[in-house]
């Protein structure tokens, strides 16, 4: 049997495991509720009128607000699907059963990654489908930028998966890997990004700033949309989607390669 055939088998069973978990269906429900709540807040609180007198309500602003506020969906979905992918095999000692099989550890990691990417992508796409339905229902329009935003959201989710796999392959426990990933993305990276902004340094290479490109594709200036400039006197500007795409890709490639290397070297204890 070729390594590709083995990869398909690993991916198949990992997908079955993910779809059997309640967390997948819980994530779908929470995603739906979150998007509905964001839409209700946007319309109920008259967000366009409160942001700035320079802008008015539009399908692009609505889509920007909903997809920006929902940018945490890829984080939580990817982290909770991938956080225990590698660590659980060492934590629960199932690696004693899996690793002696004639399948490379790298094949296990790649198969688990493909399964996690599939279920995470389904969550992200579900969020965007809900947004599209709301756009068509409320405005009878569908900005073409929504598809660009979706593509960047999927790349962003992919970068989160890479970081989650790195911690999952390096740490002993699934919970530790999950918490470490969340703290890194939502705290450590955020502190570094804010510090760079206060130092008047463009944080184009930071993970979170690149993730803002999910909203920047709509062409609504951040300064106008959010009523002012950025901290430290730095002019608010939209991240470049092309640059952000490659930055987020880098945040996936490097951690994922390291996760494969660590998994291959790691011993069962």
Q: What's the confidence (pLDDT) of residue 69? A: 65
Q: What's the confidence (pLDDT) of residue 267? A: 66
Q: How far apart are CA 9 and CA 158, in angstroms?
A: 22
Could you tell me the sign of the dihedral formed by the alpha carbons of 102, 167, 248, 81, in that order?
A: positive
Domain tally for the chain? Answer: 1
Q: Identify the burial level of 199 via C-beta atoms within 10 angstroms of its C-beta, where 0-12 means exposed, 13-18 middle and 19 or more buried.
A: exposed
Q: What's the confidence (pLDDT) of residue 114? A: 93
197 and 203 Cβ atoms separated by less than 8 Å: yes
| Domain enclosing residue 92, as ranges | 3-265
Positions in the chain whose pLDDT score sits under 50: 96, 227-229, 231-235
Q: What's the confidence (pLDDT) of residue 118? A: 93
Q: Identify the burial level of 171 via C-beta atoms within 10 angstroms of its C-beta, where 0-12 means exposed, 13-18 middle and 19 or more buried.
A: buried
Q: What's the confidence (pLDDT) of residue 163? A: 93
Q: How far apart are CA 246 and CA 266, in angstroms?
A: 30
Could you tell me the sign of the dihedral formed by the alpha carbons of 232, 238, 240, 245, in that order?
A: positive
18 and 28 Cβ atoms separated by less than 8 Å: no
Q: What's the confidence (pLDDT) of residue 269? A: 57
């Amino acid at each position: 049997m070729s390594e590709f055939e083995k990869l398909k088998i690993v991916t198949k069973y990992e997908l079955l495991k993910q779809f059997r978990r309640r967390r997948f269906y819980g994530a779908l429900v929470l995603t739906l509720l979150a998007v509905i709540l964001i839409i209700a807040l946007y319309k109920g609180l008259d967000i366009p009128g409160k942001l700035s007198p320079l802008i008015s309500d539009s399908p692009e602003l609505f889509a920007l607000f909903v997809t920006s506020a929902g940018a945490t969906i890829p984080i939580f979905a990817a982290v909770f699907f991938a956080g225990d992918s590698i660590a659980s095999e060492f934590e629960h000692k199932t690696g004693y059963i899996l690793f002696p099989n004639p399948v490379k550890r790298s094949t296990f990691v790649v198969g688990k990654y493909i399964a996690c990417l599939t279920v995470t992508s389904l969550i992200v796409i579900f969020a965007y489908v809900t947004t599209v339905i709301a756009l068509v229902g409320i405005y009878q329009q569908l900005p073409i930028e929504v598809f660009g935003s979706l593509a960047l959201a999927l790349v962003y989710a992919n970068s989160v998966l890479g970081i989650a796999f790195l911690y999952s392959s390096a740490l002993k426990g699934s919970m530790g890997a999950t918490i470490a990933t969340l703290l890194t993305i939502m705290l450590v990276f955020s502190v570094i990004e804010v510090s760079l902004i206060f130092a008047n340094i463009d944080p184009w290479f930071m993970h979170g700033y690149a993730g803002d490109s999910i909203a920047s594709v709509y062409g609504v200036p951040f300064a106008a949309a959010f009523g002012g400039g950025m901290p430290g006197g730095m002019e608010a500007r939209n991240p470049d989607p092309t640059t952000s795409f490659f930055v987020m890709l880098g945040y996936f490639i490097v951690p994922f390669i390291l996760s494969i290397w660590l998994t291959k070297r790691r011993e069962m204890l």
